[in-house]
Structure 1
């Protein structure tokens, strides 16, 4: 973490630069060159950015190129109080003023709306593809419900493309750089006659991977993508205009969805009360896999305690006996697949036997009509269709296990006869239908989604000469999404085949053989999907699958009225009515769940052997009235050329949704505490004051904003019981923002912005921290449950001590510890050889019901979140960019440098040492040689000059895989040169 002195020094540089600009402005006014005016459509009409009473930042295509902002993730370097991170699954979190998309659900809405030419896209690739032929990008901060599509509580990012014009135009650009990077861009604008024009733009990028996979000796996290945009415009007369846009994006490479996986290893306790633990098996069962240590310590580059995994414990089935009459287990009892392993401290170095696969495809078609009903009234129609497909698969852990499977060669049955016939572990290697053959544990995940969206918006806008004007609109969105998340593990498949599906009627000389899993099989049956990853049927129970389907239909009517109280005072009043209807179809997960065809029960706890039956639809409806009220003043001041002062109140809303469904477990076999099926909508009351100033004859612009948010039901999720559980928290936020552009002469320009953010979760809010379920209470301990129970639990320390003090075999003690979490041992159905109807732990002299005697049904103690900061809400953000241009005849050489700083923040609402994200900074430089007359531009640049790898965000995985942390970082140092020609 940067020291307080360093933080103060960096911020002092930024503030000093702003102060210098203000102080120097009057003195340099006579030789000043005016700052270019930026025309925006933040209020759905063309206006100077300095005349819009909204906190908005706008970047033209020239500004994007100067700062080398080539995609949505890099907007953080140009907009105050903004942060960005990729997400663990198929989306991302773009946060404005601490408000982002921390809810992970197919039914959740983005808090910051991403719009393509003013059409909101619920799912998009605008933060993965690179900007192509962009007119400008506008970032509006704060709730925007009365102006843009659906309500956005955080703000709007609006990417506005260039449209066909009436002049012939062409452009080509070629670029090369390190990591064997190759880029091409081209466009052509063709006017056809007096009323019609076509515009075609395309871009392609290829580069080698940023990360080194030491196990396969390959470079991963490469890019291979291309984009095209075809647009046509028809303007038959002065009163009618229309255009149609089709944009296509495709990526097919080996990019990693997430970064390296970190873990502070939890070896488990050595003592419990007065009992000393000597068995590694017992210590493993009392380990949660990873401890909540700082991600910046050396210990974080460890591996989880794999011996704590329930699937590893259960895989210790007997295969037979060797020549020394010793029992050979498939996976020896007490095995830790990661024992002795460590990781490199290089965040760009991983070790995996499975290189990632990444494919994304997105199409957007937009049809726009404008008709001037009169000289003062305009009718606008926007119709859009978007289709998005996504597929990403990678190693679940990003490190390779030790060999764990025993060989079946040369084994004998209990009668001493050689086991012959089919051998499922010939040579010690197990073959998984999805993951292939290996004697190691292999785990791979797959995130895929299929989405489509229809949008229709109508607006009526006035342009009266008098005091009053208005904008009225209505829109409708129809969105369908099918999201899947899979986790494959060859130990899962092994258990399905050789623990549950063993045919005990076969002769002993056939060994442990499986029987087909059919509807008539009179045994416990867990279906193993025989299809490959690339052609996955998706109906197997030998892997985890979270299947989510959502259909959202939303309509709204909205409008704003503008009234000039005096020539210098204006009142803006806007209202919106929103009606949201979401239908979620829950498909419970079925990992290693089956059905016993010979009896009504199932020892695994399942109801079906194959497929994912849906539960009843979850039908949710909300409606909300939101709006904004703005009073702005344009005073005539002696020390400014133009000033706008405004104060506003706005009310924002974002719909709720349904949490993904949990495991479909029979409660007579395994019981656990119910979780919320749905989560609530968000609401925010936002108060803002701001001023926009032009000084020094137009050479200086200085804008400032202060805001206060009162937030209700902010949506945040974490993995609980293998699902993304979304919770709601009240909070409040306040902050200030400064933006300036200073151009004292033709040669020099300074851009700077500064943001301060203070967030606080409301008093009385609480949540269970999966990394610290006991909250430091020594009277309780974390335990690993049985395989079908997804999450860890807590149990009284005194009961754990009692079990470990009894002179029973370690295996029996282990089963008793699992029983403390609830589950099948309570009724005796867990083990078919155990027929007692009494609760299992009565053999240890006590009775215990975790669902009624433990806090929150055994899930743990709630952490007090009162006063904690919101996640991904850095207190400080700052950027200073300076450029100097040398002119010689028709040529100009511009040297530019940009420095960006982001203060420390938290990855989760718990604000623990584990959650801390340290401050980081970034430097980018470029040199541009240009001949405007010839249309030639040569550019060289370096991004991330000092090759820094900060942790920008992290995601905590599930209990049953050890609570590892997926971390995200920046791209490494990138060096490139390009040449472009405009004609």
Structure 2
């Protein structure tokens, strides 16, 4: 037998192996002590055979878990679906407080925030990597069985929860269109027959204060009312070095009221209202990383000098985000909007000097929890849900269900866009200049001596859904469930980027004229007719909180989408004999998505032709509108699809188990497609766009699964396992191209194994474990253009930065770029990405006096026809690559031991989670690689059932790790910087709750 001392040494070695630094910290000793105390009963359990037999007789069976995975209440061991279920008590034990933490209790699950207003919850490698407003989630997130397209699963904390169910695999029959990966279903505690109340208070790290409670009140014999709520306040766990403020704090609350009426045994109705609200400095993203791209020093036989190399730098290189070089800043010398600012004249010279890098002296801490930005984040979210449910037993064996749900969700988040502090760059141009005393005052962002940039992500969503269902409970071999549902969802997603350079260019570059004294003054460009000689760009004069949303001095991507869907569905259950049952299901879905395109208008303006009296597209900007964001013609897409499943399960006795079920299933799932957002509305005679797809296809999946569920050792052990294979068609993935979320489709396959175990070793000791293995593969022949590597190593082509009008980089032939860079007009290189007539054109389709093929004797060149993929770059071969956010292994291990002390129970628990490395994008480059990471939590609880008193001391993220869990690549014209996401830091807390 292993001695306790040897166990202690072994546990210490395990901890050192997973975290080789800071081993002398106080929490390190506490971790060993907690693990040893938990492990001690395991040693005692094995020391004496007679004692072991006695303990075996005293084992408690694993508590039976009831789920509604098939929309009827069943034991989880009787449901032929891979489903995990956590009760409210389970989540308290595991300290699972939000949806993102479910990955610690469910195999093959991955979670990460996204860059905008949503998140990616992935099951078996399938998640929501498409981030446009027209895309749907792949995992159906439901409240009390009602799917919610937009929800606050990431922000909102669980409270007064009956249980959370996670169904893995396509659930297209009962749960519908957006369940190709699975379902997360949260069920609240309903009113009970007896008066009860509970209050809970908690304090912890970062000045954390959390309170929650519930009040249950019976109203006579037929009615009940339950009121519950939760409130959290916490200081920020990130630090802004520049402002000196903590950020990423929490200030949120939730409340829920449920009224239930049961006038008879055959009828039940309940009304649920739930409200969530948050107002704090939560940051959508973590740190912004960049491996600086210095640009080329030589092209062909030509040495590049002066500022010419900046035209051949993409800002950031695709280096590993774990390298020290990743904590650099982008090469901003080549930012087109910065270069053209140097063209703005004052009486004392240009507004800024040529060839200036605003971030030349910027630096970054290597600590992911320390940022350095000029602007602290702002975060607000508000969500309301109202649900009305009826359950009416028409006969002893036929029940009618009705569920009506209305949800409204408002979201606002703002943070520093560039995530770096600019050097002072503005010259003192005098009192009449844009930059008196070297200060430019932006109408939205205020005064500054350097670049300021802020983004705003907001959404306004409304959803109405209705479902009717008939469920039978016949005594014979046949039963069925049939129903119909309807969904109406409307969303407006707006994404703004404010930059004082944008305002400066809009206000002064094209609208300046000289007065009679020779001073440069700015025209008041309110209407095009007021413009004299230059492009008219409207500058919004209002503050950031009160913008009129008509300015072209900021970027706005507006997405208006309406989704209407209805479906008919049914499942039949045939009990072939006492041991074998066949389940078959079919669903018909009719989807319609209607998008209203609203093109972005950044730095676009018009020209007033005094001779004709007409407004024309701008000479330099190429815009059709000088003010506002005109809506285009609506685009309507329709799909009519069948989904379903067939499951054969077989129950039998074995010599090794108490109960055993085997099942095999086939399922077909579907998720709708949509429209890609429109790009900037630029005159094609001024700028020729690289071609992009305007729509993306629906997703489809065929899934085969084999599984078994087992109860052993007189009910003290449950052991479930399954194997699955997915054949995926048109999996949706997006990346930022031309400042929009471009959705692409890829065929793929996924296969894996899953194991879940719960073992009540003794009356006092329990072990929980789940493991997941996953292998994903993108199909042969799939391709995509990697914006981080457009040339794909082809030495005959080179990346080129575009003008301020063109959102994305392009590639051009090396010999052509070498010739253009040797000309007197250095800005002619900007024409290579667009065929622009402004700086000369290589395109025969554009009529201009500056035809570079004529002047320099070059062959006619049009990037749309003469460059790969219209100049966008060479496609990367994705054949055999892994899907993003699909680690090969996930492991969860929890050990819990309870020590009786008179009327009290002292419970020790540890939970360990680990996932292997994965990739953040489909290209699977070194830049995309996400390292493996672990998470260890521990708690000590003391409870007294007689007095309903419960106390808990816990530590989450014991090793204070900050792994990068995912990342997001920003647009070309911001330098291809990378926003990374990480875990919360180590949090120690103490809670006490009392029931009455």
TM-score, scaled relative to structure 2: 0.93
Q: Among 345, 362, 366, which residue is 1:319 paired with?
A: 345
For the pair 1:444 / 2:454, whether they are aligned, the reply is: yes
Unaligned runs of 5+ in 2: 1-12, 19-38, 610-614
Distance 1:947 1:207, change over 3 A: same
Please say if 1:92 is aligned against 2:140: no
Cα 1:827–1:276 change in 2 (3 A) is closer
**Equivalent residue of 1:365, what SS?**
strand
2:526 is aligned to 517
**Would you say 1:655 and 2:672 are equivalent positions?**
yes
How big is each residue's C-alpha offset from its partner over 1:8-50, in whole Å with a ceiling of 9 and x where there is no partner? x99xxxxxx9xx9999999964332111110001111111100
Question: In the alignment, does 2:774 pair up with 1:734?
Answer: no
CA distance, structure 2, for counterparts of residue 295 and residue 205 of structure 1: 33
Matched position secondary structure for 1:491: helix
Q: Quote the residue 1:416 is aligned against.
A: none
Q: Distance in 1 between matches of 2:722 and 2:55?
A: 26
Aligned counterpart, 1:543: 554
Matches of 1:885 and 1:138, distance apart in 2:
26
Mapping 1:193-204, distance limit 5 Å: 193-204=220-231
**Could you say what secondary structure the match of 1:800 adopts?**
helix
Correspondent of 2:600 among 583, 589, 606: 589
Q: Is contact 2:835–2:841 with CA below 8 Å preserved after alignment?
A: no
Q: Which residue of 1 aligns with 2:989?
A: 976
Deviation of 1:520 after TM superposition, in Å, equals 2.1
Q: Residue in 2 aligned with 1:295?
A: 321
Q: Can you list the C-alpha shifts for 1:633-680, whole angstroms capped at 9, x where unaligned? A: 001111100011000000000000111110101001100222111100
Residue 64 (structure 1) aligned with residue 76 (structure 2): no
CA distance in 2, matches of 1:909, 1:27: 55
Structure 1 residue 318, shift from structure 2 partner:
4.4
Offset at 1:889?
1.8
Q: Show structure 1 runs of 5+ residues with no match.
A: 11-16, 323-327, 410-420
Structure 1 residue corresponding to 2:199, chosen from 160, 166, 172 = 172
Alignment deviations for residues 113-148 of structure 1 (CA, whole Å, 9 cap, x no partner): 000000000001122110010000000000111112
Aligned equivalents of 2:207 and 2:125: distance in 1? 37
Whole-Å Cα distance in 1 between the matches of residues 157 and 207 of structure 2? 18
Question: Which residue of structure 2 lines up, in the alignment, with residue 325 of structure 1?
Answer: none
CA contact (8 A) 2:936 2:958 kept: yes
Query: Tell me, what secondary structure is at the counterpart of 1:674?
Result: coil
Question: Which of 432, 435, 438 is equivalent to 1:422?
Answer: 432
Tell me the SS of whatever aligns to 2:973.
helix
Counterpart of 1:383 in structure 2 is 404
Q: Deviations over 1:58-115 (max 9, x none)?
A: 0001100000000100000000000000010000000000000011111111000000
SS at match of 1:802: helix
Other-structure match for 1:489: 499
Cα gap change, 1:835 to 1:512, in 2 (>3 Å):
farther
Match of 1:839 in 2: 851
Measure the CA separation in 2 of the matches of 1:124 and 1:179.
27
Please say if residues 136 and 178 of structure 2, whose CA atoms lie closer than 8 Å, have aligned partners that are also in contact: no
Residue 819 in 1 paired to residue 805 in 2?
no
Shift of 1:836: 5.2
The answer to whether the 8 Å contact 2:225/2:258 transfers is yes
Residue 617 of structure 2, aligned match among 586, 601, 617 = 601
Q: Deviations over 1:209-230 (max 9, x none)?
A: 0110000100001010000001
1:789 has 2:798 as partner: no
Alignment of 1:561-580 (within 5 A): 561-580=572-591
Q: Deviations over 1:392-425 (max 9, x none)?
A: 000002211111111113xxxxxxxxxxx63321
**Equivalent of residue 934 in structure 2, options 921, 931, 945:** 921
Q: Is 1:230 matched with 2:250?
A: no
Q: Is the 8 A contact 1:819 1:841 kept in 2?
A: no
Take 1:798 and 1:687, find their aligned partners in 2: how far apart are those partners?
54
Give the aligned partner of residue 36 of structure 2.
none
Corresponding position of 2:395: 374
* Residues 743 and 499 (structure 1), Cα distance of their counterparts in 2 relative to 1, 3 Å cut: same
* Separation in 1, partners of 2:811, 2:117: 32
1:134-149 pair list within 5 angstroms: 134-149=161-176
Aligned pairs (5 A) from 1:34-73: 34-73=61-100
SS in 2 for 1:746: coil
Say how many residue pairs are matched.
946
Q: 1:505 to 1:423 in 2, by over 3 A?
A: closer
The alignment status of 1:365 with 2:386, answered yes or no, reads yes
Taking structure 1 as reference, are residues 737 and 27 closer, same or farther at Cα in structure 2, changes over 3 Å only?
farther
CA distance in 1, matches of 2:838, 2:445: 36
3-state SS, counterpart of residue 886 of structure 2: coil
2:949 aligned to which of 936, 940, 950: 936
Tell me the distance in 1 between the aligned counterparts of 2:726 and 2:462: 33
1:669 to 683, 686, 693: 686
Aligned position for 2:742: 725
Distance 1:718 1:978 in 2: 43
1:634 aligns with 2:651: yes
User: Partner residue of 1:407?
Assistant: 428
Q: Deviations over 1:657-713 (max 9, x none)?
A: 111110101001100222111100000000000000000111111100100000000
RMSD between aligned residues: 2.1
Aligned mates of 1:673, 1:744 — CA distance in 2: 64
Any conservation in 2 of the 1:151–1:653 contact (CA below 8 Å)? yes
Match of 1:13?
none
SS of the counterpart of 1:520? helix
Q: Is contact 1:786-1:823 (8 Å) kept?
A: no
Is 2:886 aligned against 1:870? Answer: no
Q: Is the 8 A contact 2:536 2:618 kept in 1?
A: no
In 1, Cα distance between equivalents of 2:489 and 2:820: 54
Where does residue 904 of structure 2 map in the other structure?
Answer: 891
| In 1, Cα distance between equivalents of 2:561 and 2:458 | 14
CA contact (8 A) 1:669 1:827 kept: no
Point out the more displaced range, 522-531 or 959-968. Answer: 522-531
4+ long deviations beyond 4 Å: 20-29, 826-830
1:79 alignment counterpart: 106
Residue in structure 1 matched with residue 638 of structure 2 by the alignment: 621
- In 2, distance between residues paired with 1:343 and 1:763? 41
Query: Residues 842 and 339 from structure 1, CA distance in 2 versus in 1: closer, same or farther, beyond 3 angstroms?
Result: farther
Counterpart of 1:412 in structure 2 is none
* Structure 2: distance between partners of 1:826 and 1:820: 11
| Counterpart secondary structure, 1:605 | coil
Check whether the contact 1:957–1:965 (CA below 8 A) recurs between aligned residues. Answer: yes
| Aligned partner of residue 269 in structure 2, secondary structure | strand
Residue 172 of structure 1: CA displacement?
Answer: 0.1
Separation in 1 of the partners of 2:189 and 2:102? 19
Q: 2: CA distance between counterparts of 1:26 and 1:506?
A: 101
Show the 5 A alignment for 1:728-807: 728-804=745-821, 806=822
Distance 1:714 1:318, change over 3 A: closer
Higher mean alpha-carbon deviation, 519-528 vs 731-740, is at: 519-528
CA distance in 1, matches of 2:74, 2:780: 42
**Conserved in 1, the CA contact under 8 Å of 2:837 and 2:847?**
no
- Which residue pairs with 2:267 in the alignment? 240
1:688 aligns with one of 673, 690, 705: 705
1:480-502 alpha-carbon deviations (Å, 9 max, x no partner): 00000000100000000001222
> Which of 97, 112, 120 lines up with 2:147 in the alignment?
120
- Aligned partners of 1:26 and 1:696 also within 8 Å: no
What displacement does 1:342 show? 2.2
Which residue pairs with 2:563 in the alignment? 552
Deviation at 1:841, TM superposition (A): 5.2
Q: Is the 8 A contact 2:314 2:972 kept in 1?
A: yes
Match of 2:32 in 1: none
